[in-house]
C-alpha cells in the first residue's frame, strides 16, 4: 500500500497560484453541472443566463460591481491582518456594524451640505467597523484570547443587534411588516459613474 504524505511548499509562484484557481473553478463548474443535471436542468443554459444577468449589460455589470465592492474591500482588509499572522473571521459583522453606525448618524443628524453629510457618514461607517474589531483586538493583546473565536462571536452579537433594530426602533412602517429599515435619502447617495455603478468604485 502506498503511503501518501502532504508537504507544505516552501515557495508559491504566480503560475501555481493561477493553476490552483483554475482547477478550483473547473471543479466548481463540474459539481454545479452535476447538480443541475440531477434536477433536469441544462447546465449550459443556466450558466449562460447567470453570465448575462451578472455581466451581460452595463446595468447588470454595474449592479454586480456594487454588490462585490464591499466584499472586495472587506477581503483586502482581512488580507492585511493575515499578513501579520492574525485571523479575522468577523468581516461580516464589521460591515454590519459600519452600516448601523451610518444609519444612526443619518437618523440623528442633519447637514445642509450633502457632500459634507456623505463624508460624515463614510467616517461613521469606518468608525463602526473599527469598533467591531476593537474588542477582539483588546482581548487578544490584554488576555491572549484567540482572535478567531472573538471575531467570529462578534458576528453573532452584531447580527442580534441588527435583528433587534430592523424589527424594533428602526423598522420601516412602509415595509409591509417585513423586518427592514428605511432607506437613507437620495441626498446622501453617491453619484453613479456608469450604469448603476456608484462612485465608491
Strand 197-198 to 192-194 pairing? antiparallel
Tallying the residues shown for the chain, one arrives at 201
**Model-level pTM?**
0.77
Residue ranges of the chain with pLDDT lower than 70?
A: 1-2, 9-10, 194-196, 199-201
Rounded to an integer, what distance in angstroms lies between the CA atom of residue 199 and that of residue 188?
A: 12
Max CA separation in the chain (angstroms): 77
Kindly report, residue by residue over 34-58, the tens digit of the pLDDT: 999 999 999 999 999 999 999 888 8
Residue found under cell 499578513: 83
Q: What is residue 2's predicted lDDT score, i.e. its pLDDT?
A: 63
Q: Which long-range contacts (CB under 8 A, 24 or more apart) does 132-139 make?
A: 132/90, 132/93, 132/94, 132/97, 132/98, 132/158, 133/88, 133/90, 133/94, 136/88, 136/90
Nearest to 185 by CA among 81, 72, 105, 74: 105
Q: What is residue 201's predicted lDDT score, i.e. its pLDDT?
A: 44
Kindly report, residue by residue over 181-196, the tens digit of the pLDDT: 888 888 888 777 766 6
Amino acid at each position: 500500500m502506498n503511503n501518501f504524505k502532504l508537504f507544505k511548499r516552501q515557495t508559491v509562484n504566480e503560475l501555481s497560484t493561477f493553476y490552483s484557481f483554475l482547477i478550483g473553478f473547473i471543479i466548481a463548474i463540474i459539481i454545479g453541472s452535476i447538480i443541475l443535471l440531477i434536477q433536469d436542468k441544462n447546465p449550459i443554459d443556466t450558466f449562460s443566463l447567470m453570465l448575462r444577468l451578472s455581466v451581460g449589460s452595463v446595468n447588470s455589470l454595474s449592479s454586480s460591481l456594487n454588490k462585490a465592492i464591499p466584499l472586495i474591500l472587506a477581503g483586502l482588509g482581512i488580507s492585511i491582518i493575515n499578513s501579520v499572522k492574525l485571523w479575522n473571521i468577523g468581516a461580516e459583522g464589521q460591515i454590519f456594524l459600519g452600516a448601523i453606525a451610518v444609519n444612526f448618524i443619518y437618523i440623528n443628524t442633519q447637514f445642509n451640505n450633502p457632500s459634507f453629510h456623505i463624508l460624515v457618514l463614510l467616517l461613521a461607517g469606518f468608525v463602526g467597523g473599527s469598533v467591531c474589531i476593537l474588542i477582539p483586538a483588546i482581548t487578544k493583546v490584554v488576555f491572549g484570547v484567540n482572535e478567531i473565536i472573538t471575531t467570529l462571536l462578534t458576528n453573532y452579537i452584531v447580527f442580534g443587534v441588527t435583528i433587534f433594530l430592523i424589527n424594533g426602533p428602526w423598522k420601516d412602517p412602509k415595509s409591509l411588516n417585513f423586518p427592514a429599515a428605511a432607506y437613507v435619502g437620495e441626498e446622501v447617495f453617491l453619484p453613479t459613474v456608469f450604469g448603476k455603478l456608484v462612485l465608491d468604485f
